[in-house]
Amino acid sequence: MNRDEILNMPAGREMDELILTKIFGYTKLPFPAMPEFQKPTDSGVYATYHVNHYSTDMKAAWDLVKEMSAKGYWCYMGTLSSESYAIFTKESLVPLEKGRASVYDLPLAICRAALLTVTG
């Protein structure tokens, strides 16, 4: 997935599933596998049916910020004019443009910035 595709992807299930797989490390199993998403752990496999609404719900988006922080990223968020923005970077003082996304909705900006950061 390239930068333009990420920046043009709308909020919704497709983006939320990308966050679950690319950031949280789950694998999506082909239908009719149940549960649909699995993640290897030290004690076996954690499976889930539920996909959080990272791109539309601020509480879920904040869980994404905490996950990125646990991976060593700083997060900068704010508003400019009528747009919200989010930036993830490993540098504490100089945000990188690579991981920056601006949009009208902060949860969507957070998701796009996280995906831009991890997809390089």
Q: What is the residue-wise DSSP string for 6-26?
A: HHHPPSSHHHHHHHHHHTS--
For residue 58, which of 112, 108, 6, 117 has the smallest C-alpha distance? 108
- List the beta bridge partners of residue 48: 37
Query: Which tens digits make up the pLDDT trace of 4-41?
Result: 999 999 999 999 999 999 999 999 988 887 888 999 88
Higher per-residue confidence, 107 vs 92: 107
- The predicted structure's pLDDT at residue 31: 81
Cα-Cα-Cα-Cα torsion 59, 62, 63, 65, nearest 10 degrees, comes to 170
Mean pLDDT, rounded, for 52-67: 96
For residue 21, which of 44, 1, 5 has the smallest C-alpha distance? 1
Mean pLDDT, rounded, for 66-91: 87
Asked if pLDDT for residue 98 goes beyond 80, the answer is: no
Q: How many helices (H) and strands (E) does the chain have?
A: 4, 6
Query: What is the pTM assigned to this prediction?
Result: 0.86
**What residue type is assigned to position 103 of the chain?**
V
Tokens of 110: 């957070």
Tokens of 12: 């919704």
